[in-house]
Amino acid sequence: MKRAARLALVDHDDPALPVAAQCRLLKVARSTLYYQPVPVGSDELAVMRWIDELHLEYPFYGSRRMAVVLRGDGWVVNRKRAQRLMRVMGLEAIYQKPNTSRSHPDHKVYPYLLRGLIIDRPNQVWCADITYIPMAKGFVYLVAVMDWFSRRVLAWRLSITMETDFCIDALREAMDRHGRPEIFNTDQGVQFTSAAFLDELSSQGVRISMDGKGRFLDNIFIERLWRSLKYEEVYIKAYGSVAEARQGTGGWLGFYNEKRPHQALGYRTPRAVHEGAACEYVDNASASLRDAHALPTYSQAHQRGKEVIMY
């Protein structure tokens, strides 16, 4: 049971069992019962937003170099602060780290199964990833499940925390709508290595694949999705609430699936390719090396009066 759920079980008016005893039985710290979260300050949010942009441009920057660049841009940031904020945002540099074979003792890590694999049909390989979405006041996390062959976003969820539940919800929706993949690929984040998430896949007979630590190129297509989403939608908006963030990202993902032609797909849309409409040309081999800046953005399509389909 999650800590928040255990805290909800505490009865302050129980005449027989004091609150301290209830906390001991539920294995939660009494201090967390009275903790009131402090809103993130505007300066902190501004630094996080700039870190996010820098990470998109230079994903190999670690906390040391990030702190140096931030100070050069006028921010008062030392390495400790850069480390903390990158950890909150779920960011890490992409260089290979030593002892990467050592994982959390309670979390099983699977080998990477896509090296040398010819991916030539929808639902052969799915992938998932989480990204940070800044708002005017605060931030949320977005998870997406993508079909590797067609690049179609099969399901997505927003969350105000990095708990595993929203990832499982997105996975269940994807499988309810589109069946199940042969292989599911993720990074080694704690959400994707949790027993609950892995059980959802293994119970359906799905083979599990995981990237090497710090190897964002192992999941390149969904990393490119994040880049496009942020530059074409998130960074030009200032979401005032989670509801606005959900509407904005949902609108863009609908445009991405339904309207945005992809060069690697022979200028077809992800939905058309995923549903089998003329799949004779999909360039998986070289797509990661191509530049997508020439493709129309969500804002350009919207200004031309095209309908954006919500997904």
Is 37 or 135 the better-scoring residue by pLDDT?
135
**What single-letter DSSP state applies at residue 115?**
T
Q: Averaging pLDDT over each range in 38-42, 57-61, 97-101, 236-240, which range is the top one?
A: 236-240
Is 109 or 212 the better-scoring residue by pLDDT?
109
What pLDDT sits at residue 109?
81
Directed axis angle between helix 42-57 and helix 63-72, to 10°? 110
Q: Are 136 and 238 in contact (CB under 8 A)?
A: yes
The architecture CATH gives domain 125-303: 2-Layer Sandwich (3.30)
Q: Are 251 and 274 in contact (CB under 8 A)?
A: no
281 pLDDT above the threshold of 90: no
Give the count of alpha carbons within 13 A of 225, CB side only. Answer: 31
116 pLDDT above the threshold of 80: yes
Q: What is the mean pLDDT of residues 83-112?
A: 68
Percent of the chain with pLDDT over 90: 48
Tokens (6 digits) for 228: 């496009």
What pLDDT sits at residue 100?
31
Tokens (6 digits) for 257: 């699936």
Name which of 80-94, 133-147, 197-211, 252-266 the model is least confident about.
80-94
The pTM of the full predicted model, rounded to 2 decimals, is 0.71
**Banded model confidence at residue 18, pLDDT cuts 50, 70, 90:** confident
What pLDDT sits at residue 242?
94
End-to-end Cα, the chain, rounded Å: 31
State the Cα–Cα distance between residues 213 and 98, nearest whole angstrom.
10
What pLDDT sits at residue 206?
96
State the Cα–Cα distance between residues 171 and 179, nearest whole angstrom.
11
- Tens of pLDDT along 140-182? 999 999 999 999 999 999 999 988 999 999 999 999 999 999 9
Q: Averaging pLDDT over each range in 87-91, 103-107, 152-156, which range is the top one?
A: 152-156
Q: What is the mean pLDDT of residues 90-114?
A: 63
What pLDDT sits at residue 264?
85
106 pLDDT above the threshold of 80: no
Is 42 or 145 the better-scoring residue by pLDDT?
145
State the Cα–Cα distance between residues 293 and 305, nearest whole angstrom.
21
What pLDDT sits at residue 103?
45
Give long-range contacts, CB 8 A cutoff, 24+ apart: 271-274: 271/150, 271/152, 273/122, 273/149, 273/150, 273/151, 273/152, 274/122, 274/147, 274/149, 274/150, 274/152, 274/178
Which amino acid is residue 259, in one-letter code? K
**Banded model confidence at residue 4, pLDDT cuts 50, 70, 90:** low
Is 116 or 280 the better-scoring residue by pLDDT?
116
What pLDDT sits at residue 289?
36
CA-based nearest residue to 230, from 77, 54, 44: 54
- Tens of pLDDT along 201-260? 999 999 999 986 545 556 788 888 999 999 999 998 889 999 999 999 999 999 999 999
State the Cα–Cα distance between residues 168 and 192, nearest whole angstrom.
9
Q: What is the mean pLDDT of residues 77-103?
A: 72
Q: What is the mean pLDDT of residues 7-16?
A: 75
